[in-house]
Amino acid sequence: MNLIDATHDPALKSWVDSANAAGTDFTIQNLPFGRFRRAGSDEPWRIGVAIGDQVLDLKLAAAQCPWADGVADLLQPLAEGDLNAFMAMGSQARSTVRSALSAALAEGSDQGPFLELCLVPQREAEMALPCRIGDYTDFYTGIHHATTVGKLFRPDNPLLPNYKWVPIGYHGRVSSIGVSGQTVRRPSGQTLAPGATEPSFGPCKRLDYELELGILVGPGNALGEPKTMAQAEADWFGLVLLNDWSARDIQAWEYQPLGPFLAKNFASTISPWVVTQEALAPYRAPFAHPQGDPQPLPYLSSEFNSAAGAVDVTLEVWLKTKQMPEPQRLMQSNFRDAYWTVAQLLTHHASGGCNLQPGDLLGTGTLSGPQPGQGGSLLELSNGGKAPLTLASGETRTFLQDGDTVILRAFCAAPGRARIGFGEAAGTVLG
């Protein structure tokens, strides 16, 4: 399957100058979707496309710019702010709109004079969740995270035997998912203090973040009708950054036997821009389980998944405390180290007949790297709180304190390929 076309040409430039700047997240080769309105206005939400430091307002663009036959119809749900309806249209609609937007935003485009009037500076845009999220499932694909955390919680049995056979997941909470800029109130719950025989109830003392990617589903499947790997590969819409905030002391007491509950349901933060799978095509990579590990069962295996199931996305966590003038990077990892691919997660989720729907969110789980210092949570970086991190400000952290701001960032970059960035997923602990 040839995933590369003219929209990926690294030499392609835009008439939006900021899209051509070195290091920008939002090149013309990216074109992610987000839901926005002008800050301070009560205008209807609409879908926009990030280009450089601007947002292309697709409501205005659909009305004021001439488009080729068929494109105007595909733009209508986006103009109406309904990304879910566009997601449901599938891969052909995504590719058609991407090609049309790329051509319209490219240097020398005849549509440029029309679209210049449809740009909004990102600093003047109020962002919302990009789509209606009907359901949220969080997986556990980061084997390095699973192993490290398993050693902290279960020293004698860190990685359970099913981990290398089946993508592990649990059903999360949709109502507490917010967009970047979210404030997070420290949750309360039951905890069991060391040496105590009875739990107590009170504020979380071991508040943490989790570095994840979120997968947004495109076309769904009918109840009782599983997805094949080929269908799953065609049907995932795109990726966002995801911070699955975690109350570690509450989690340690409550997670057995049914898994996370209050430790996870109080807040999750995603980035506002959805990077489509088409934009990520130049960064697809071969996928295989390590030699000696069990190979995926046939329903989780395909020739394409082996050849290009992985995605080369660099991930980072940054922290800003009240005393810091600028945030500090805490770690860096890569999505290629995940134990399962996007298509495998969708396929497994639907394999029992579960009906996925456009806009459903699937979290990858914490994406830690294999090396020391690549933990995707403070739980890992501080060795369960035993080894405090010393920050550039001279402060130390084992877990998050009130006023701390956590910023997730991600990008794809390689010689001969255009940079594809994700923006940020930022959240601040109230206090």
Question: Mean pLDDT, to the nearest integer, of 5-25?
Answer: 97
Residue 79 and residue 124 in contact, taking contact as beta carbons nearer than 8 Å: no
Q: What is the mean pLDDT of residues 27-44?
A: 97
pLDDT at position 417, please? 97
pLDDT score recorded for residue 6: 97
Fold (CATH) for 136-429: Fumarylacetoacetate hydrolase; domain 2 (3.90.850)
Dist CA 247 CA 263 (whole Å): 5
Mean pLDDT of 391-398: 97
| Burial 333-367, CB ≥16 within 10 A → b, else e | bbbbbbbbbbbbbbbbbbbeebebbbbbbbbbbbb
**Mean pLDDT, the chain, integer:** 96
Domains of the chain, residue spans = 6-128, 136-429
Confidence at residue 211, expressed as pLDDT on a 0 to 100 scale: 98
Residue 150's pLDDT is what? 83
Closest CA to 174 of 127, 236, 207, 131: 131
Give the pLDDT band of residue 153 (cuts 50, 70, 90): confident
Is the pLDDT at 157 greater than 90, yes or no? Answer: no
Please tell me the CATH superfamily of domain 6-128, with its number.
Fumarylacetoacetase, N-terminal domain (2.30.30.230)
How do residues 354-379 score in pLDDT, each as one tens digit? 999 999 999 999 999 999 899 999 99
Which amino acid is located at 231 in the chain?
Q
* Sign, Cα dihedral of 32, 18, 419, 112: positive
Residue listed under structure tokens 């592990």: 168
- Residue 214: strand pairing partners: 240, 363
Looking at residue 1, what is its pLDDT?
64
**Residues 317-341: what's their mean pLDDT?**
97
Average pLDDT over residues 337-352: 98
Residue 36: pLDDT over 70: yes
Mean pLDDT of 4-22: 97
pLDDT digits (tens, 9 = 90+) for 239-278: 999 999 999 999 999 988 888 899 999 999 999 999 999 9
Q: Is the pLDDT of residue 80 over 90?
A: yes
pTM of the model: 0.96
pLDDT reported for residue 256: 85
Which residues are annotated as catalytic?
145
| Beta-carbon contacts of residue 12 (< 8 Å; ≥ 6 apart) | 6, 28, 29, 102, 106, 418
Cβ contact 94:218 at 8 Å: yes
Radius of gyration of the chain (CA): 22
